[in-house]
Structure 1
């Protein structure tokens, strides 16, 4: 999380206003279609969830600041479709030729959607990397928050937590490392931990100093405190 989207704890963006209970899941009809086409395109198997997240992060700062949530999804999806060769820019403009697409047989049919969603996409994997930290152990996150494999690449360590001191709350086993998976470098699974931080470690003037924040962080994001 090294780009404009890394907004956690940033001042000046105004208060977070939760939607009232009972509000519609989708504020507009096209939001549901944006979600549906994103899931359907992902089912073609040309990218993984980390690549999809990274595509949204790579939107220009101007677009990211102006687009709504699902506008970000649609714009990033268009980039992925072209980058992976699934479609051309001409296809997106409606200038495609007739004929069956090479990936047509992988299309997610309506009758298969419920089962696909129920199956999910588990990210836990076997790993030959042993856990380096014990329950309750004091740790510190690496600084700066950056991908150590790809310059400017995707990472799940938020900037506001870089260099913060916390303790291991729970071990989740080994999971796919997004920093590698987002860039086609393999899943590279490694231990994942729930790490608890006092808010005073994260922000200079927390509203409730006694509060704690729990983050799920990969082993390579951590070092002994």
Structure 2
């Protein structure tokens, strides 16, 4: 069963309306929300996949009610409380109610360090299993779209709308960190990543334009050979 965030292909959400020249951050607090979420990962000890999964776990009513960066802050509060970095009382009060543990203070990021931190979260890894598929191979994405390391309700990057469909491998992308393990403290477990092309009409039906394709980057554990 998919989480509420996996909304691709669902009816009733309306058309996507792109906005030209839209700013990266509409307000100052959006930028601060992103910054504090990224920087809190070091003392918090979680990965970008764990952070994404925390947003997926927000109650459906909250997920639909909150704006984009409100979701980030709500999920961050849950992560901080779960790791014992803050208490729920401190979250309610909006301030610290007790000194932080010495070990956590040592993990804080000084302002001078911020500019030296790498941008983004590089996922490519040199080591990993050999690829099972090559360009032009026909593959089928596994159904259902679920965590592939045994975590019930766990994180996955296979969208539900693409599960169970046959596509064509466009390219191998090397070995990349596997989100299904990385989100749950089970290690990076890098494995081959592929760009797979699906016929748009296979995914969306006759509402899609004939000849259009949808390209999705999928890990090897999400795929099997398509024999038919």
TM-score (norm 1): 0.92
Size of the aligned set, in residue pairs, is 223
Counterpart in 2 of 1:65?
64
In the TM superposition, what is the alpha-carbon distance from 1:95 to its structure 2 partner? 5.2
In the TM superposition, what is the alpha-carbon distance from 1:101 to its structure 2 partner? 4.8
Counterpart in 2 of 1:77?
76
Give the Cα–Cα distance (whole angstroms) in 2 for the partners of residues 128 and 98 of structure 1.
43
In the TM superposition, what is the alpha-carbon distance from 1:2 to its structure 2 partner? 2.0
CA-to-aligned-CA distance 1:165-195 (integer Å, 9 cap, x gap):
1111111111111111111111111111111
The Cα RMSD (Å) is 1.7
Give the Cα–Cα distance (whole angstroms) in 2 for the partners of residues 178 and 2 of structure 1.
16
Give the Cα–Cα distance (whole angstroms) in 2 for the partners of residues 8 and 49 of structure 1.
21
Change (3 A) 1:205 1:189: same
CA-to-aligned-CA distance 1:72-97 (integer Å, 9 cap, x gap):
00000000001112221123223512
Q: Is the 8 A contact 1:145 1:162 kept in 2?
A: yes
Q: Secondary structure at the match of 1:172?
A: strand
- Runs (4 or more) in structure 1 with deviation over 6 Å come to none
Q: Secondary structure at the match of 2:51?
A: helix
In the TM superposition, what is the alpha-carbon distance from 1:114 to its structure 2 partner? 2.5
Give the Cα–Cα distance (whole angstroms) in 1 for the partners of residues 180 and 192 of structure 2.
14
Give the Cα–Cα distance (whole angstroms) in 2 for the partners of residues 128 and 28 of structure 1.
42
Unaligned runs of 5+ residues in structure 1 are none
Tell me, yes or no, if structure 1 residue 18 matches structure 2 residue 18: yes
Give the Cα–Cα distance (whole angstroms) in 2 for the partners of residues 24 and 157 of structure 1.
29
Unaligned runs of 5+ residues in structure 2 are none
Matches within 5 A, 1:29-108: 29-44=28-43, 46-92=45-91, 93=93, 94=95, 96-98=97-99, 101-108=102-109
Q: Is the 8 A contact 1:48 1:182 kept in 2?
A: yes
CA-to-aligned-CA distance 1:47-96 (integer Å, 9 cap, x gap):
00110000000000000000000000000000000111222112322351
TM-score (norm 2): 0.91
Which shows bigger deviation, 161-170 or 109-118?
109-118
Matches within 5 A, 1:135-146: 135-146=135-146
Counterpart in 1 of 2:153?
152
Which shows bigger deviation, 200-209 or 67-76?
200-209
Q: Is the 8 A contact 2:128 2:175 kept in 1?
A: no
Q: Secondary structure at the match of 1:108?
A: coil
Q: Is the 8 A contact 1:198 1:213 kept in 2?
A: yes
Counterpart in 1 of 2:210?
209
Give the Cα–Cα distance (whole angstroms) in 2 for the partners of residues 108 and 171 of structure 1.
37
Give the Cα–Cα distance (whole angstroms) in 2 for the partners of residues 219 and 88 of structure 1.
40
Which shows bigger deviation, 80-89 or 158-167?
80-89
